[in-house]
Structure 1
Amino acid sequence: MTALIILAAGASSRLGFPKQTLLYKGKTLLELAIEAGIKSRCHEVMVVLGANADTIEPGIKQYNISILHNPDWANGMASSITTAMTEVMQNPAIRSVVIMLCDQPFVTRTLIDSLLFKQQQTGKHLIACTYSDTVGVPALFTHRLFEQLLQLQGQEGAKKLITDHPDQVATIPFEKGGIDIDTVADYEALIGNT
C-alpha cells in the first residue's frame, strides 16, 4: 500500500501570498496535486498544511484526503515530512510513500503511477524524477527508508536521501518537473504558456 504525501505547509515568502491557492486551468495548484494523487494508484492522499492553513483548508475540504497540520512549519520542510511520516508509521499496511510538492503543476496521475511501476520493476527503495539536470521529487520511498525520512532536520527535504543513497535510486523522466512556482514571474510564465 502506498500513501501520497503532498507538502503544502510553506509560507510562499518569495511569492508574497499562498501559492497553494494560485489558479491554473480553473483549479488551485493544491487541487491539481490532490486530484492527481486521488486518481493515481496510491491508496491514501495526505496533505500537510502549516502557514495560511485557515485560508487553504476550506478549499480542499471536499476531497477524501487526510489533512495534517504541521505546527512547526516555520522550521523547514523536514518538519512537514516528519508530521506526515509520524502519521504513516501508525499504519503498518503502508509500505511506501510518494512525496511531492504542491507547486509542480505538471504532476499527473500517470507520473505518480510511473514511480510505483518503476519500484515494482526494479526493486529499488527510492524512485525519483529527473528534470533540469537534477534528481528530485516527486519521489517514492519504501518502508526501509521511513526512519531516515523521520530523521530529516530543518530545511532538509527528500533530496537528502536521494543524495545519500545513490545506489538505491532508480529514476523516471519528468520533462516539466523543473517548472515550479516560487515567484510572481514563475506564475506569470506558467499562465503565459497555457
Structure 2
Amino acid sequence: MAHTPSAASSAHRPVAGLLLAAGGGRRLGGRPKALLDFRGRPLVENAARVLREGGCDPVHIVLGAAAGTVRERADLAAYVTAENPDWTQGMGSSLRVGLAALADSGAGAVLVSLVDQPGIGAAAVARVITAYEGGAELVAAAYGGRRGHPVLFGAGRWAAVAAGAAGDRGARDYLREHEDALTLVECADVAEPYDIDTPGDLFRLASPGAPRAGEGR
C-alpha cells in the first residue's frame, strides 16, 4: 500500500507512549488499578516500563483515581504524568487529557496502552512500532485476528481521535470508522490481552501467564 510523504516523514519522529491509568477499579471494590500489587510494586510501574522497553519515548501516564497516592507509592520519575480530574467519566476523558499533554511533544505518533493488561509486554509494543516505522499511521495489535491493545495513532489523527473519545469507548468508534486504514499486527504469540477487571482476575497479577480455572491453555 502506498503512503503519503507526510506519513513516511513522520515515521522518523519518535513514538510517544500513552498509558491510561486513571481507573478507580469499580468492579474491584474501588481499588485503583494503578495501585494493584504486581510483583511487589504498583501495577502502573510495570505498564510504564513496558512502553519504555518496547521503544516509546517519551512515556506519558494519565492518572485519575487516588492520583496523589499513586504518585507517592509508585516510582514514576522517568515518566511524564498528567491528572484527569474527570476520570469517572471513563476512558475517553483520559485519552483526551493524554493527547492534549502530547500536543507539543514533537512525537510522530502515540502508542496507547492500558494499565490493567499485564499480559501485554514490550514485544507487542515493539511490533506495533515496527509497523509504524514501515509507514503505517494507524496500527493495532491483534490477537487471533481480533483488534486489541496497544493501538498507535499517527500525530495527524490525534485531533479527530480526541474529538470522538467519550465515555468508556475511548477510540473504539474512531477505529471502527477507519477500519479500512487500520493495520493489524498479530501478537498472540507474544502477549495475552486479558484485563484485570474483577476480583476473579487478580490471580493474573501473581502469575500473568496462568490460565483461569477451567480455561485450559
The one-character-per-residue Cα deviations of 1:62-114 (angstroms, maximum 9, x if unpaired) are 531001000111111111111111111123x2110000000110222222111
Decide whether aligned partners of structure 1 residues 62 and 70 sit closer, same or farther in structure 2, where only a CA change above 3 A counts: closer
Partner of 1:25: 39
Separation in 2 of the partners of 1:164 and 1:119? Answer: 20
**Alignment of 1:191 onto 2:206:** yes
Match of 1:50 in 2: 64
Distance 1:170 1:53 in 2: 34
Instruction: Give the aligned partner of residue 179 of structure 1.
Output: 194
Residues 136 and 162, structure 1, Cα contact 8 Å, conserved in 2: no
Q: Distance in 1 between matches of 2:169 and 2:138?
A: 17
1 CA distance for matches of 2:119 and 2:74?
19
User: Could you tell me the percent identity over the aligned residues?
Assistant: 29
Conserved 8 A contact 1:19-1:29? yes
Is 1:95 aligned with 2:108?
Answer: yes
Alignment match, 1:8? 21
Task: Work out the CA distance in 2 between the residues paired with 1:9 and 1:148.
Answer: 22
Q: Tell me the SS of whatever aligns to 1:4.
A: strand
SS at match of 2:184: strand
What runs of 5+ residues in structure 2 fail to find an aligned partner? Answer: 1-13, 212-217
TM-score normalised by length of structure 1: 0.90
Report the Cα distance in structure 1 between the residues aligned to 2:52 and 2:73, rounded to whole angstroms. 16
Matched residue type, 2:61: V
Identify the match of residue 72 of structure 1 among 81, 86, 99.
86
CA contact (8 A) 1:132 1:177 kept: no
Greater Rg, structure 1 or structure 2? 2
| Alpha-carbon distance in structure 1 between the residues aligned to 2:76 and 2:204 | 29
1:113 maps to: 126
**AA aligned opposite 1:182:** D
Equivalence for 1:168: 181
Amino acid at match of 1:101: L
Q: Indicate if the aligned counterparts of 1:98 and 1:140 stay in contact, CA closer than 8 A.
A: yes
Provide the aligned length of Structure 1 versus Structure 2.
192
Q: For residues 49 and 25 of structure 1, do their structure 2 counterparts lie closer, same or farther at Cα, with a shift above 3 Å needed?
A: same
Give the letter for the 1:110 counterpart: A
Could you say what secondary structure the match of 1:113 adopts?
helix
Structure 2 residue matching 1:104: 3-state secondary structure: coil
Task: Indicate if the aligned counterparts of 2:15 and 2:56 stay in contact, CA closer than 8 A.
Answer: yes
Distance 1:82 1:62, change over 3 A: closer
Determine which of 168, 171, 194 is the counterpart of 1:158: 171
Please tell me whether residue 145 in structure 1 is matched to residue 145 in structure 2. Answer: no
Name the CA shift for 1:65/1:19 in 2 (closer, same or farther; >3 Å).
same
When the two chains are superposed, the root-mean-square deviation of aligned CA atoms in Å is: 1.9
Q: Which moved more, 1:57-66 or 1:136-145?
A: 57-66
